[in-house]
Amino acid sequence: MTPRIETSNEKKLVGKRLTMSFADYRTGELWGSFMRRRQEITNQLTNDLISMAVYKPAHFADFKASNEFEKWATVEVADFDNVPSEMETFVLPGGLYAVFDYKGLNTDNSIFQYIFGTWLPNSDYALDDRPHFEVLGDKYNNNDPASEEEIWIPIKMK
């Protein structure tokens, strides 16, 4: 699987976040809480959902399933004028990304094993210290093997 290399512009996001680890993965709880109130966000730019992870700089260099990170359930907005209570804002910085078009179950981690274990080490790129995110668009369907999403991995030249 070969990604496309894209430069993303800065994005304004509104949503909810939880601190978790891969050993204590609480994504279902996060998305359940967010989706119940998503309609309160009135200035969404698209219907896409954005699942974002903010890792500490050494997260992957010293990877352990117990390493904590922030997981966000968000949508992109035009501005931060009307943020619903109990939701937060995040400015996702622009930059260079490897974008993988993924089709399959969201519980199948083999795509990430391929990205970090095969593609990245053999590419001209290194992991950059910016948030990682997935765009869950019209073809995304949770727990469906035919589901499609875009996986955006922050990169920089080696």
Q: Is 51 helix (H, G, I), strand (E, B) or coil?
A: strand
Nearest alpha carbon to residue 154 among 137, 123, 130, 136:
130
Yes or no: say if 129 and 57 are a contact pair by the CB < 8 Å rule.
yes
Of the candidates 64, 52, 58, the residue with the CA atom closest to the CA atom of residue 93: 52
For the entire predicted model, the pTM comes to 0.95
Task: Number of helices (H) and strands (E) in the chain: give both, helices first.
Answer: 2, 9
Helix H or strand E encompassing 121:
none
Question: pLDDT tens, position by position, for the chain (158 residues)?
Answer: 899 999 999 999 999 999 999 999 999 999 999 999 999 999 999 999 999 999 999 898 888 999 999 999 999 999 999 999 999 999 999 999 999 999 998 888 899 999 999 999 999 999 999 999 999 999 999 889 999 999 999 999 99
Across 24-122, the runs of DSSP E, i.e. the strands, are 49-54, 68-76, 88-92, 95-103
The CATH class for the domain spanning 4-157 reads alpha beta
Give the per-residue pLDDT at 61.
84
- The alpha carbon of residue 93 and the mean position of all alpha carbons in its chain are separated, in whole angstroms, by 13
Nearest to 73 by CA among 59, 84, 58: 84
